Amino acid sequence: MKLYSYFRSSASYRVRIALALKGLPYEYAAVHLVKGGGQQLSSVYRSVNPDSLVPTLEDGPHVLTQSLAIVEYLNELHPEPPLLPSDAVDRAYVRSVALQVACEIHPVNNLRVLQYLKNSLGVTEEQKTEWYRHWVDVGFGALESRLEDERRVGEFVCGGTPTLADICLVPQVWNARRFNIPLDDYPTVVCLADNAMKLEAFKMAQPANQPDAE
């Protein structure tokens, strides 16, 4: 398998965690999202993935995009260890936590959105930082109220093993720290992310440990 990835991309980070948890080897193809105006926009990369987004996973002849779809695919083809619980209601819970990160927080604070705010709307650095912080606060606030009383929460979002939910949570917390967002109001969210970050697979997948890390 070959993973097109950018070390700092949350979505790439998710897939790297899943691959590491499954113990699957892969070739790392770096796509720099900033250098030269963004290598994801090059015709070479667009011929792989016309969306100009990372990650893309090549598995033999198959080209897979969208991190959550890739993780579900990896989980279906390589069931051990499972990244989703065996019960349908628990699965819906895990997927919904993952989607709360992937649909409510991450897209609004994506690099291209921040670039649009700056370049097309001319917002100040301060307004851009406030925007970022606002959506993390809205998203983590909602997650915290949900998870603090959730009976399924254990060492991880759903019990004692990491799932798709932890795979999405960790990169978002890593990102928030990178932008120096205060996280004191989200103790459950932070504790869960820190628990997962202690695992070897999560360590291997983190941005600093990628070949293209700066």
Q: Does 73 bind a second copy (CB under 8 A)?
A: yes
The answer to whether 181 and 19 have CB atoms below 8 angstroms apart is no
Binds a second copy by CB under 8 A, chosen from 58, 104, 155, 212: 104
Identify whether 182 is preceded by a cis peptide bond (ω within 30 of 0): no
Question: Which residue, 2 or 146, is less far from a second copy as judged by CB?
Answer: 146
The answer to whether 90 and 152 have CB atoms below 8 angstroms apart is yes
Tokens of residue 89, six digits? 């209601």
Q: Does 146 bind a second copy (CB under 8 A)?
A: yes
Least separation in angstroms between residue 112's CB and a second copy is 8
Q: Does 24 bind a second copy (CB under 8 A)?
A: no
Q: Does 32 bind a second copy (CB under 8 A)?
A: no
102-141 per-residue burial string, b: 16 or more CB within 10 A, e: under 16: beebbebbbeebbeebeeeeebeeeebeebbbebbbebbe
In terms of C-beta density within 10 A (0-12 exposed, 13-18 middle, 19 or more buried), how is residue 203 classed? middle
Distance CA 171, CA 191 (A): 14
Q: Count CB-CB contacts under 10 A for residue 5.
A: 27
Binds a second copy by CB under 8 A, chosen from 20, 102, 168, 190: 102
Q: Does 119 bind a second copy (CB under 8 A)?
A: no
Query: What is the distance, to the nearest Å, from the Cα of residue 108 to the centroid of all Cα atoms in its chain?
Result: 13
Q: Does 51 bind a second copy (CB under 8 A)?
A: yes
Q: Does 64 bind a second copy (CB under 8 A)?
A: yes
Binds a second copy by CB under 8 A, chosen from 42, 65, 161, 195: 65
Task: Looking at residues 170 to 199 of the shown chain, list those that interact with a second copy (rule: CB under 8 A).
Answer: none
Residues that bind a second copy (CB under 8 A): 50-53, 62, 64-66, 68-70, 72-73, 76-77, 88-89, 91-93, 95-96, 98-100, 102-104, 106-108, 112-113, 116-117, 120-121, 123, 127, 130-131, 134, 138, 142, 145-146
